[in-house]
Amino acid sequence: MYTLGKNTNAPIILISDDEPDTLNLLTNIYKRQYNVVSAQSGKETLDIFQKLPIDLILLDAKMPDMDGFSVCQKLRNGYSHNYVHRPYVMMMTAYYTDEFIDKAFDVGVDDYIRKPLNVKILERRIKAILERKILQDTLMDSELKLKTIFDNANDGIIITDIETKKLLTVNNKICQMTGFSNEELLSMNIMDIHLKEDAPMILAKFDMQVTNKGTLLEAVPIRRKDGTIFYADINISPIILNNKQYVVGFFRDMTKRLILLNELGAHKNSLEDLVSQRTIELNESLMKLRFIIDSITKAMAHTVEAKDPYTAGHQKHVSEIARKIANKMGLPKDQVEGIRVAGVLHDLGKIQVPSEILSKPAKLNEFEFGLIHMHSNTGYTILNGIDFPWPIADIVRQHHERIDGSGYPLGLKKEEILIESKILSVADVYDAMVTHRPYRAALGRDAALNEIQKNKGILYDSVIVDAFEETINDKDFYLSDNSIDL
């Protein structure tokens, strides 16, 4: 009969004896500690053995249908395939001659005990056997897991004798990678899978393992059985097996990655060439655009100056002063360029003001001042339809605004005014005061400076005024013939 007890994790002992008294005695003794099943014949023993994972068999040497030798021989000859671990067999017998003992060990018996049984001795023997078997089974489980991991690893693995360079162990993946069978690889030297020209480097890395230093070799050519080459990263480390030093190498096929990297490199070079060509073309286009913008800007400025000869050159002067102030403030080059263009066009709106008002040698009346004040909005209207890379129309419209809100045409204050317009306003006031006008002579540099300094932080931005003062004090900034020569 075979019915397991409640403790299903306890070892299973199979007692095989044709004497009911012996079966009952042993079953009652051990059923508290172990799962105990019993059989009264060799056939029943084999039947139970096929159905349960037996840890220990107490096997009687003499039974009616099949003696213990025959039973053990069948057990050891693969009678059942349900066992991961080999069960322990202890033979019980009243006969233990040398011939008997030799025969028992020959058929696979692990130990024997004499009948009549000494229960205490048997109990100690069983305990020692099962403890040892548990340790052996645990070790075998670990070895089996390691072997499974080894055989199914995604990397090729080779263990090599560090002295002879002979391959000791290989896994399935390295066989797949190289095309050699397990047997073929185990008959080879480590250099047999490497190219001759790589031999010095490989041998040097092997020698390094004596000092217990792991090494990573990248993109090493590996020879396949068919003569082709693949490239592998090899991680080499020393290991100790049975008190002897070996080297384990983990091979990762990098061939596809290298091909991809080469393709990406070629693609990158192609893209860089394309970007370089497009950059050249873009720069050429920008230069052409800059030339067109400059040409249009100059044409507009000349149109105004042709109508008002007394202010000829004023827009150019304001543009250059404003550009220098912006540079002194450290503004970005593109923003500085926008200020330069806006400066050249800032009085474009005067094209709508009658020439007789622009060149009137006397003081303007209120109506005439009103017409002059319209030039900011007029300039905005003209320029607003042109798609400049900068807000030229807004800069021109705001160049007479003041930070206290007293300017025109919108009465903007402080941060409401574009910084470009604030810069132009300072440059415009300075140039207007130091140059001749139809209704007055030039007021001079000192008067212009005094006007701007007096209204610093009131009409004009303080930071801009400071940059302006530094600008006009530079050695390359000077007056010539009542105009500014920059």
134 within a domain of the structure (yes/no)? yes
Average pLDDT over residues 1-28: 79
| Same domain for 193 and 167 | yes
331 within a domain of the structure (yes/no)? yes
Considering its fold, how many domains does the chain have in total? Answer: 3
Helix %, strand %, coil % of the chain (to 5): 55, 15, 30
Using DSSP's 3-state secondary structure scheme, residue 234 falls into strand
The H or E element spanning position 129 is: helix 119-152
> What span, in angstroms and rounded, lies between the C-alpha atoms of 233 and 64?
65
Strands of 167-170's sheet, edge to edge? Answer: 167-170, 156-161, 244-253, 229-241, 215-223
The tokens of 342 are what? 């806006």
| Same domain for 376 and 357 | yes
| Same domain for 326 and 182 | no
CA 449 to chain centre: 59
Last residue of a domain, one of 150, 176, 209: 150
273 within a domain of the structure (yes/no)? no
| Same domain for 307 and 249 | no
Task: Count other Cβ atoms within 10 Å, centred on residue 204.
Answer: 10
pLDDT in tens, 92-141: 888 778 888 888 888 888 888 888 888 888 888 888 888 888 888 788 77
Alpha-carbon Rg for the chain, nearest whole angstrom, is 51
> What span, in angstroms and rounded, lies between the C-alpha atoms of 372 and 69?
129
427 within a domain of the structure (yes/no)? yes
259 within a domain of the structure (yes/no)? no
CATH of the domain at 421: 1.10.3210.10
Half-sphere exposure of 282 (CA within 13 A, CB side): 6
| Same domain for 392 and 359 | yes
| Region label for 224, one of left (φ > 0), alpha (ψ between -120 and 50) or beta (otherwise) | beta
The tokens of 59 are what? 């096997």
Last residue of a domain, one of 95, 126, 150: 150
pLDDT in tens, 29-77: 888 888 899 999 988 988 888 888 888 999 998 888 888 889 888 888 7
> What span, in angstroms and rounded, lies between the C-alpha atoms of 179 and 185?
10
**Does the pLDDT value for residue 80 go beyond 80?**
no
> What span, in angstroms and rounded, lies between the C-alpha atoms of 281 and 466?
40
| Same domain for 134 and 174 | no
The H or E element spanning position 389 is: none
| Same domain for 443 and 355 | yes
> What span, in angstroms and rounded, lies between the C-alpha atoms of 8 and 35?
7
Phi first, then psi: what are they for 299, rounded to 5°? -60, -45
Largest CA-CA distance found in the chain, in angstroms, rounded:
150
Strand partners, 113: 92
Task: Count other Cβ atoms within 10 Å, centred on residue 363.
Answer: 9
Nearest to 380 by CA among 369, 401, 394, 400: 394
| Same domain for 102 and 40 | yes
CATH of the domain at 18: 3.40.50.2300
The tokens of 30 are what? 């051990």
| Same domain for 158 and 133 | no
| Same domain for 446 and 390 | yes
235 within a domain of the structure (yes/no)? yes
Last residue of a domain, one of 106, 121, 150: 150
What is the domain extent for residue 161? 154-253
| Same domain for 171 and 187 | yes
pLDDT in tens, 328-383: 999 999 999 999 989 888 888 887 777 777 767 777 777 877 777 888 888 898 88
| Same domain for 219 and 130 | no
**Does the pLDDT value for residue 165 go beyond 80?**
yes
292 within a domain of the structure (yes/no)? no
pLDDT in tens, 398-454: 999 999 999 999 999 999 999 999 999 999 999 888 887 777 777 888 898 999 999
